[in-house]
Each structure stands twice: as C-alpha cells, then as structure tokens.
Chain A
C-alpha cells in the first residue's frame, strides 16, 4: 500500500466516492423513471455536480445546517438523508421524508441539519442566515451552507442575505453552483456584474472560485472557508464552476447548449471518473474496490425505487396533517 497523498484518509476517500456515486445513480435512475410518468410533479437533476455537494459537506456534521435548492437531491444525499425515504418522497408516498407531501423540491430532514430543498429560487439564503444566527447565539460552532445557482444569485433574497450575513458576521457559506445558465438564459444576458465573487466583495466578504468538477479542489477550498466561518471568521462565498449533465428540468430540450456539450462534459469532466482514476493511480485502491461500491450503490437505488413504488400513498384523512411543522 502506498503512502496516501490526499488530504483525506482512505476511509473518507471511499466514503466521498460512495456519496458521489449514490447521487449519480439516484439521478440517472430518476431520469429513467420520470420518463415513465409515475412520478408526480417535476424533478431537477444534479448529475455532474456531485463533487460540489460532496466536497463541501464532507466538512460538516449534523450540527451544521444546509439550505438547498429546487435541485436538492445531491445536497440531501451528501447530508446523510435516507435514500429510501428520499425516493419515496419523490414518488409522493407515505414512507417519504416528508410523508409524501413535499415531493422532490421539498425534501427535508431536520435531524440531519437538512433544512429543505426549496421550490423558490433564492429562498434558502435567508433560512440559512437564521440557522447561522441561532448557532452563533448558542455558541455551538455550527456553520450554515446555502446553495444557489447563477440564476438565483440575482434574487433579492440572496443579496439581502449576503448583506445580513456580513453585517451580523454570521457563520454562513454561500455556495454558487454556476453552470452558466439560469434555466435557459446564459449568465451574459442576465447580469451587469458577471462574477459572483465580485458581489461578495460588494458586501465585504471574500469570495473564491474553484473548478466544481474537481472534488479535491472543492474539498480543499471548502475546508478552509468552513473552518474560517466555524472559528468566527465570518461569511464567505464559494463559486463552483460546474457542467451539469442534464437540462434545467426533466424534458428540457436544452436548445441553449452547444451541440455535444453534455457528451463532452460526460467524457472529459466527470468528477467520478477523475476521482477514481486519481485514487487508483496513487495505488490506494483498485478498480475492483470501486466496482464493489458501484454494485452496492446500484442495489441500494434498485431497492429504493422498488420500495417507493410499493409504498402506500398518504391517506386522504391525512391531507391536512404535517402541513405545518413546529420547530
């Protein structure tokens, strides 16, 4: 066995891979299942961006909170939300994380510090400021992470939250997952200030840009930013440049993308492929080790889909329960 050249133990490396593989398989499977018409509502897939959720959240524990987006499956899985419950929730079943009443865009698990996917763009940012303020008052060293895309970055809620976080010195990390398109609108058409790091500067907080397709780049940068916030250093912004493999929503014809863009990214920028190659090249693990994880994850997802399909719908008598949750 060679020396480990990575900033994570072998166990953590394999855990990171398993998380990324679980997200990928979850989304690839939803892509197939959604097309069959059994899933109510809409799904927005995260495939391609796994290195961001995983690279950031490897630094978190249950005391840390995240506020997610309409594209929240990856964030949920990386935060440790149960995959069976997530799948059941997406199918609208009573065994789901929110008893089938939230669906894809409202999966939440407060016990894991997952404050919810969110159907409203930019709505996670104020929520996480509240959570971070609570952590600051309690002195529990908890950090809040909010994710948003390059489109939601233009919402007033996000900008107001950045101002609040800076003014109150909150332990918040604003993570921009920038894939270059707000739904189908290129960033160039949507903003006068094209850089999200520039906005952070405008609010007096530092901002950093990393390659969001490289797990190790995200992991190292996020580690420093989260440590700074945890130690009382204040909020910061992390912009991750990403290339998602699917469109904005399932069924999106993606006419705004260049021909072959998705295929190029799958071939050349896949975070799972590059992660696996680097760990194998370093002599820490073999393809067999990774194949074994792939197999276990495939079984997990198969089982989650089968259980979700077999599970009961919520009863009509429960229509008005679980609508409001008392914190």
Chain B
C-alpha cells in the first residue's frame, strides 16, 4: 500500500502590499492549482494515489478538483484520490497549522507545501519530523524552492515510497526561535528582523529607516528579502552549523553599506554597524527598546520597553525533501533506470 502524502496550499500567500511598495508578482490561483497538478503527476509516477489536502476558500481546491475530474473522464492513468480534510476553514494561518496537525496524525509520508516563507514556517513548526516538499508561491521565497513542480512531486514520490532512502532524500534544517519574555517561542525559517515600527499593520517590511537588528538561519546573496542583506556581507549555507546576526544602522552613518534587494524589484541601501556568527543554542537578547519582530519578512509580534526579546538558532529543527539529492540518487540507481517501481 503506497503511503499517503499531504498537500497544504495557501491561496493568500503572495498577495500583500509588496505589490504596491515593491514590484512583487501575483501568482494566479489557476497557476497555483496547475503547479499542484504537476506535482501530483510527479507523485503518481511512483504509485502514490492517496493525497490529503487542506480545504481552503481561495479557489485552489476547486481548480484541482476540475483538473482531476477532467483527467478521470479522459481515462488518464495515475488517477489521484484526493481527500479534503474535514476541518473548518477560517481563511487564516490557523488553517495551515490545523491541517499540518491532522496530516501528522494521519501518518502522511511527506507534506507538499505551496506558499511563501510564512506558510512553510507554520507547517514546519507543526508537522514534527515529516519532511516538507516546498513549492514557492509567496513574495520573497527565500526558504521555498524555485523549481518545476513536476520534479518536486517526482522527488517527493521517490522519498515517500522509500525508493530513495530517507538518509539520502531528507535533510534537516535550522530555524530561529524568537521569544518575548517567557511566552512560548515563535519560529522563523530564514530571518528574524527587529524593527522600530510598533504595529503589525500591513505586515511586510519596506521602511528601511525602521530596521535595527537582523538574525538569519542562512544567508545567500542570490536570494531576496531580509536575508539578502546578510548574504551580501557574509553568506551562510543552509547546512552550516551557524547563523548570522547583524546590527543595522542608517546608511549614511554605517561603516558598511550594501545595496540589498529587500523585496522583488526593490533595492535599498542598508547600513550595517557590525555582524557576527550566531552559534546554535546561544540565546541573544535584542537591544531594541520597543518595536516589532518580523518573522521571515512579515511583522508578527509587537513588544514594548517592558518586554525582552530573545532569538536562538536551533539546528535539526525540521525536515525537508532534498529534491536534487533524491533525483540524483535515482539517476545513479541502475534498477530505477530500468523502470523498476515506476507506476506510469
């Protein structure tokens, strides 16, 4: 019996104010559904038919059902048996959290996530050691992979069915834990920014004069968003055993200045006072008196002068499907090259 795979597709990701204050794109719902259809085709190549999906009201579900019914009517092979989870739809991040929890209880072998860094963050913090296959449909997508979904689905099928061993196809990732006083921690998969804006408002970050501190789990100058700032001074790999923390300052007064793409099509001068490596487990307290904390580029938590914010890098926090490793393993495996286990 082939394993079940979960799908969490967020229809709201990639819709925020960065369409106005930057030049972010707007991936259409029909395209998101099409991406999912391609990923499902990849899954079914390895015999996976049982897929659990988070219900939503943004239209992705309706489109994918239409895709599947067209395929069934035409008698296409590899039909997917899609089950919508029985849960209330609130249209908020709570849906992703609840769906991830149910999928974990149902024992899915992997969860395919379509969303931005925010959606991935919520699923990763809820699904325990179940690996996530990431597909980016958000704004900055520093965490999520930019890749053809067919291949993501294909690799997920390889790993979920055990054709590619978990030791090869699943990788552990770091995350950052943020705590305000003794509250339970929130997590960020890529970056934590502390800014002086004391309200959540439209969530996105674009007013550079408010940026004060930045903590990153990894930093790559090829990415965009807050982690790009770190990537431009000292790149840190996803698998390296440290992160980076930076003190930011007004660009005209700082000893280091980078021109960083902080959002799609938005390159800003960012001043950096100093930076250093962030060791795993080491709690660092913010020196910003009052403001808000942005998790993966979106303001989420406000704090005032009576509260203390601390950030900690945690290793081996959650698992992802390593698409490249999985398909390369398959390419080198003689039995697979002869079509063994293939369901198409």
Contact = CB atoms under 8 A, between A and B. Distances in A.
Given A193-B28, A201-B28, A221-B202, 20 more contacts: A3-B198, A5-B197, A5-B304, A187-B57, A188-B59, A194-B11, A194-B57, A194-B58, A194-B62, A195-B29, A200-B26, A201-B26, A214-B200, A217-B202, A220-B202, A221-B20, A236-B20, A239-B15, A258-B88, A278-B199
Interface of B: 11-12, 15-17, 19-21, 26, 28-30, 57-59, 62, 88, 91, 197-203, 290, 302, 304
B26 A207 contact: yes
Nearest to A229: B20
Contact of B199 (A5, A208, A239): A5
14 contacts: A3-B198, A5-B198, A5-B302, A188-B57, A191-B59, A193-B28, A193-B30, A194-B29, A197-B15, A198-B26, A198-B29, A206-B26, A207-B19, A224-B21
B263 to A, nearest CB: 13
A2 B198 CA distance: 12
A180 B26 CA distance: 21
Contacts of A236: 19-20
A157 to B, nearest CB: 23
Contact of A198 (B20, B30, B88, B203): B30
Contact of A7 (B12, B20, B201): B201
Q: Which of A3, A221, A278 has the most CB of B within 10 A?
A: A221
A218 B153 CA distance: 37
A174 interface: no
Given A198-B28, A198-B30, A217-B203, A209 B62 contact: no
Contact of B28 (A195, A214, A220, A221): A195
Given A216-B199, A219-B201, A197 B20 contact: no
B11 A195 contact: yes
Given A208-B15, A221-B20, A224-B21, A195 B58 contact: yes
A209 B13 CA distance: 9
A241 interface: yes
Contacts of B20: 206, 208, 221, 224-225, 228, 236
A134 interface: no
Q: Which of B30, B201, B304 has the most CB of A within 10 A?
A: B201
Contact of B12 (A6, A193, A209): A209
Given A216-B199, A241-B91, A206 B19 contact: yes
- Classify the secondary structure of B's interface with A: loop
Interface size, A (range): 35 or more
A5 B201 contact: no
A3 B58 contact: no
Contacts of A258: 88
Interface in A199-238: 200-201, 206-210, 214, 216-217, 219-221, 224-225, 228, 236
A6 B58 contact: no
Closest 10 CB pairs of A and B: A194-B59, A5-B198, A220-B201, A209-B15, A206-B19, A220-B202, A198-B28, A221-B202, A195-B29, A224-B20
Interface of A: 2-3, 5-7, 180, 187-188, 191, 193-195, 197-198, 200-201, 206-210, 214, 216-217, 219-221, 224-225, 228, 236, 239, 241, 258, 278, 282
Contacts of B200: 214, 216-217
Nearest to B28: A198
A76 to B, nearest CB: 26
A180 B91 CA distance: 11
A224 B12 CA distance: 19
A214 B91 CA distance: 14
Contact of B17 (A195, A208, A216): A208
A180 B20 CA distance: 24
A195 B59 contact: yes
Nearest to A187: B57
Contacts of B26: 197-198, 200-201, 206-207
B198 A208 contact: no
Contacts of A228: 20
A6 B21 contact: no
A117 to B, nearest CB: 28
A32 B29 CA distance: 41
Q: Which of A2, A195, A236, A278 has the most CB of B within 10 A?
A: A195
Q: Which of A193, A224, A228 has the most CB of B within 10 A?
A: A224
Contact of B57 (A2, A7, A180, A220): A180
Nearest to A201: B26
Contacts of B302: 5
A196 to B, nearest CB: 10
A224 B57 CA distance: 27
A259 to B, nearest CB: 12
Contacts of B290: 3, 5
A195 B57 CA distance: 10
A224 B18 CA distance: 10
Contacts of A193: 28-30, 59
Nearest to B23: A206
Contacts of B15: 195, 197, 207-209, 239
A236 to B, nearest CB: 6
Contacts of A216: 199-201
B12 to A, nearest CB: 6
A143 B29 CA distance: 29
Contacts of A239: 15
